[in-house]
């Protein structure tokens, strides 16, 4: 099977589809699905760093892909490994409640909840062509390479991949490109080909129609000049967009949503684009 393709049209579909957030519903489904699986993966014998609280300093690992990845982790280092893969412009915080609940339910699991590249506190890809063509550095296969590099650095032979929204494309890519490293897949709010559009609104239309002209009017070149810049710098009504259209859940704790919105606000335009 071939790896997932990632043209501009797919990026647009991913953006729209990922914008529809029902985090608590997805979290409950993810928790139930992961707990129902039988795990056989083995972690490194080295003890994990203590970093299970998203409000405290996260663990850090330098990957062979060039990414400095921050992550949360809980559970014994010799337990079966589960990776939690968050959605587009989210961070490890968005699945931290799932991580802690799953740990209480199944304390023998080693649960790793990373900030994916360019999101949360993990670094942007630094390839020479990335600022001019961000899409080329944010393909599902690029995210998959990061997870495999993490596993190699920690001597994790194989693991279960549990993804939400865009994280499900990363999980699928891992299953397609690295089948021997994946025990099980758990896919919540997913798509089969990365091209379908159960659209709520078009983020790419917002970026192309409003954000790009606003940054150009402010003297920035697009996209290379905004690669590591937050949309909050010049995007019109960005905070209103975050709290009313992007980080929305009618039943979630408002404090939790505020924290999620703060993480999303720090996401650089290179990731959004």
Closest CA to 238 of 213, 204, 261, 205: 261
DSSP state letter for 129: T
- The CATH number of 8-193, from 3.30.70.1150, 3.40.50.1820, 3.40.50.300, 3.40.50.920, is 3.40.50.1820
Q: CA–CA distance from 203 to each of 108, 138, 171, 173, 221 (Å)? A: 40, 16, 23, 23, 20
Closest CA to 62 of 131, 140, 122: 122
Q: pLDDT tens per residue, the chain (273 residues)?
A: 455 554 443 444 444 344 444 455 555 556 666 666 544 444 444 444 579 999 999 999 999 999 999 999 999 999 999 999 999 999 999 999 999 999 999 999 999 999 999 999 999 999 999 999 999 999 999 999 999 999 999 999 999 999 999 999 999 999 999 999 999 999 999 887 656 554 444 788 889 999 999 999 999 999 999 999 999 999 999 999 999 989 988 899 999 999 999 999 999 999 998
Locate the domains of the chain by residue range.
8-193
pTM of this prediction? 0.86
Distance CA 146, CA 68 (A): 10
- The 3-state DSSP class for residue 52 equals coil
């Amino acid at each position: 099977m071939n790896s997932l393709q990632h043209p501009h049209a797919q990026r647009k579909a991913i953006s729209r589809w990922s914008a529809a957030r029902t985090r608590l519903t997805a979290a409950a489904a993810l928790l139930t699905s992961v707990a129902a699986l039988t795990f056989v993966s083995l972690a490194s014998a080295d003890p994990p760093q203590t970093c299970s609280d998203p409000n405290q300093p996260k663990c850090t690992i330098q990957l062979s892909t060039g990414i400095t990845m921050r992550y949360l982790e809980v559970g014994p280092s010799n337990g079966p490994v589960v990776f939690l893969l968050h959605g587009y412009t989210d961070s490890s915080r968005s699945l931290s409640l799932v991580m802690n609940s799953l740990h209480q339910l199944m304390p023998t699991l080693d649960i790793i909840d990373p900030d994916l590249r360019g999101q949360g506190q993990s670094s942007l890809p630094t390839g020479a062509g990335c600022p001019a063509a961000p899409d080329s550095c944010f393909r599902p296969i690029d995210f998959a390479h990061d997870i495999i590099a993490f596993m190699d650095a920690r001597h994790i032979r194989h693991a279960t991949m549990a993804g939400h929204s865009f994280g499900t494309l990363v999980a699928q890519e891992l299953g397609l490109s690295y089948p021997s490293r994946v025990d099980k897949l758990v896919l919540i709010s997913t798509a089969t080909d990365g091209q379908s559009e159960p659209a709520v609104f078009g983020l790419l239309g917002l970026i192309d129609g409003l954000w790009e002209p606003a940054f150009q009017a402010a003297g920035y070149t697009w996209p290379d000049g905004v690669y590591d810049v937050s949309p909050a710098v010049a995007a019109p009504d960005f905070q209103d967009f975050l709290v009313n259209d992007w980080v929305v859940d009618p039943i979630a704790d408002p404090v939790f949503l505020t924290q999620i919105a703060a993480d999303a606000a720090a996401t650089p335009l290179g990731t959004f684009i």
